[in-house]
Amino acid sequence: MTTINSIQALYAQLVRLLGRVDFIAPLLMRLFLAPVFLSAGLNKLANFDSTVAWFGNPEWGLGLPLPWLLAALATTAELAGAALLLLGLATRLAAIPLIVTMLVAIATVHWQHGWFAIAPSNPTTSMVAPLAPALGAVGINAAEQSLANSAEVAERLTATRQLLQRHGNYRWLTERGSLVVLNNGIEFAATYLIMLLSLLFHGGGRWVSADYWMAERWRLATG
């Protein structure tokens, strides 16, 4: 019993310690997401006509209805959301339109390409490989699509390397990083979605968010 009590005491102490620094995770998520959405919003704003055309065109774009309105809403959500996340102001409210934006992006842009943002060149070592049959059984085919894509990627990367090694300065071309195939799967959008859901449920955190200090001021004024 003494050992169990000691473990419980240590665990309780760890929980208290973590409680004192629990603002770090939401702060880092906000600081990570803010430039992501700021960059996306600024890109849409700078190329707004092209964004509207891409939203609306059914042949080479998304084929969405009311493309001008949806493009304006997405741009506004990303720019305003980035600013609010950075400040930790109305964090939960800011997360909602950004969550919708991510869901639309996953459904219309990324889902058909499977899971990976950058396609793995070896399907047998892919982290999705063990999960593909189970996910496929419940109708989630993104994993199987990723595995199928990665087999093609391996073949194309091998051909590209051989071509560049034979006809180009391969060492110079790859000294800043390895050759990859941009798969454009749901990986990044899903990651942002999960982070936004955490901020929606838990808020912007203590000490370094405007929400916290506004709540403290309200508490003091009414308490």
pLDDT per residue over 171-202, tens digit each?
A: 888 888 888 888 888 989 999 999 999 999 99
Mean pLDDT computed over every residue of the chain: 86
Range name among 59-68, 86-95, 137-146 with the lowest pLDDT average: 137-146
Q: What is the pLDDT of residue 135?
A: 55
Enclosing H/E stretch for 135 = helix 132-137
The DSSP secondary-structure symbol of 19 reads H
Residues whose CB is less than 8 angstroms from the CB of residue 122 and which lie 6 or more positions away in sequence, other chains included: 150, 154
Q: What is the pLDDT of residue 138?
A: 47
Distance between CA atoms of residues 43 and 38, nearest Å: 8
Q: pLDDT above 90 covers what percent of the chain? A: 47
Q: Please give the structure tokens belonging to residue 154.
A: 């391996």
Q: What is the pLDDT of residue 68?
A: 95
Question: Averaging pLDDT over each range in 88-97, 128-137, 177-186, which range is the top one?
Answer: 88-97
Distance between CA atoms of residues 146 and 143, nearest Å: 5
